[in-house]
């Protein structure tokens, strides 16, 4: 059995560490590229949302590299993602691919089913070694997110333009060569140190922007046209509204302190949206309000074309923006987004924020 999985930003680092530790053979799909998108748009239904199409592309690229079992997470959330697993299974079947799809629904919707599936994949390893591997993989996720926070802080401040990204791309190259969580954690620590000590321009006083939106779009750089890097190169300190660590803590952990904090964060959305309406709309609204409290200069919502929950959030954000005098902008991404128009919007928004900031200080 050779496992593969869909890409979502840097998730692959944790997944690889997990299955390395469990001694399961794994194919990490090649980074999302034009080819992935091409495959996905050709083979998936036209009306499907973008992540589904890219997932399909990932699977086929991995199958070509020898994968025969696909794992992905399920969801009982009221958005189309809940059907991804079953729909993708049908699409691959129609295309004649003879692969297994294992859909991991969150443990709180059936703990035994979750564990059974994991044990099946991992060749029936013991429960204790499973728990150990999961904990280690979670640690990797937390560390990688911390590394990214350092990168986001460093980009607008680096003295020599591009230094941070050069190190980051070297990290992404090296991380595929290490094996298991221990080596991965060591590598992350090395790069955290390396990036931390990059020389900063003391005069830098970057504009701060919070990114909000649906998790896949925010996390996968190919889909959001690498918005973090683009904003960073425009001299912006980027803050993420949702991270993989958040997602795991929400869906897989029993961390009660986190759950209370999350509840409080979501309560901030109350005046505008008081409940989950699917996808990450609630989180998007809560994070927008939260970013204002954290003193961000502005908020950018990244909206994957046709995503219903985010469309609802999009129509709420202007009200928040008016109430709190917080500049906000929505950019829609889809398979055909030309970079020129995207760049123009980002650049103009950053200009707007810098001018506003200049007036205040």
Site residues (vs other proteins, CB under 8 A): 30-31, 33-36, 161-162, 165, 169, 226, 233-235, 318, 327, 332, 340-341, 343-345, 347-352, 354-356, 358-359
Dihedral angle, C-alpha 87, 304, 249, 7, nearest 10 °: 60
Q: How far is the CB of 63 from other proteins (least distance, A)?
A: 16
In degrees and rounded to multiples of 5, residue 332 shows phi and psi of -95, 135
CA distance 103 to 115: 12
- Compute the least distance from the CB of residue 327 to other proteins, in Å: 7
Q: In terms of CB distance, is 68 or 335 closer to other proteins?
A: 335
Q: How far apart are alpha carbons 103 and 85 in whole angstroms?
A: 6
Cβ of 90: how many Cβ atoms within 10 Å? 12
Q: How far is the CB of 203 from other proteins (least distance, A)?
A: 11
Closer residue to other proteins (CB): 139 or 345: 345
The DSSP H or E segment spanning 103 is strand 100-104
Three-state DSSP state, 26: strand
Q: Which residues have CB under 8 Å from 9's CB, separation 6+? A: 219, 220, 221, 244
Q: How far is the CB of 222 from other proteins (least distance, A)?
A: 8
The encoded tokens of residue 355 equal 């001018």
Q: In terms of CB distance, is 30 or 77 closer to other proteins?
A: 30
Nearest-approach distance from CB 230 to other proteins, in angstroms: 8
Q: Which helix (H) or strand (E) holds 100?
A: strand 100-104
Question: Which one, 50 or 133, has the nearer CB to other proteins?
Answer: 50
Return the number of the residue (116 or 347) whose C-beta is nearest other proteins.
347
């Amino acid at each position: 059995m050779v496992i593969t999985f869909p890409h979502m930003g840097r998730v692959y680092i944790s997944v690889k560490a997990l299955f390395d530790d469990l001694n399961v053979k794994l194919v990490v799909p090649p980074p999302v590229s034009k080819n992935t998108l091409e495959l996905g748009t050709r083979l998936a239904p036209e009306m499907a949302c973008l992540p589904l199409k890219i997932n399909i592309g990932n699977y086929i690229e991995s199958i070509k590299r020898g994968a025969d079992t696909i794992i992905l997470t399920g969801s009982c959330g009221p958005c189309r993602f809940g059907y991804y697993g079953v729909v993708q299974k049908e699409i691959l079947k129609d295309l004649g691919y003879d692969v297994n799809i294992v859909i991991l629904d969150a443990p709180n919707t059936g703990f035994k089913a979750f564990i059974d599936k994991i044990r099946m994949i991992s060749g029936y390893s013991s429960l204790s070694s499973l728990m150990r591997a999961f904990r280690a993989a979670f640690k990797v996720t937390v560390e990688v997110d911390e590394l990214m926070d350092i990168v986001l802080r460093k980009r607008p401040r680096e003295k020599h333009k591009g230094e941070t990204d050069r190190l980051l791309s070297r990290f992404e190259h090296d991380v595929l060569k290490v094996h298991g969580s221990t080596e991965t954690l060591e590598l992350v620590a090395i790069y955290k140190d390396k990036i931390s000590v990059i020389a900063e321009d003391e005069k830098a006083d970057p504009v701060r922007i919070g990114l909000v939106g649906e998790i896949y779009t925010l996390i996968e750089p190919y889909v959001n046209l690498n918005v973090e890097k683009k904003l960073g190169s425009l001299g912006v300190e980027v803050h993420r509204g949702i991270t993989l660590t958040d997602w795991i803590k929400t869906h897989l952990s029993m961390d009660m302190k986190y759950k209370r904090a999350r509840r409080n964060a979501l309560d901030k959305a109350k005046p505008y949206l008081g409940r989950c309406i699917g996808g990450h709309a609630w989180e998007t609204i809560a994070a927008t309000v939260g970013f204002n409290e954290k003193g961000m200069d502005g908020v950018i919502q990244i909206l994957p074309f046709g995503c219903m929950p985010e469309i609802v959030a999009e129509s709420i954000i202007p009200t928040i923006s008016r109430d709190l005098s917080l500049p906000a902008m929505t950019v829609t991404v889809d398979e055909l987004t030309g970079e020129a128009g995207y760049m123009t919007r980002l650049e103009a928004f950053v200009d707007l924020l810098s001018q506003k900031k200049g007036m205040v200080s």
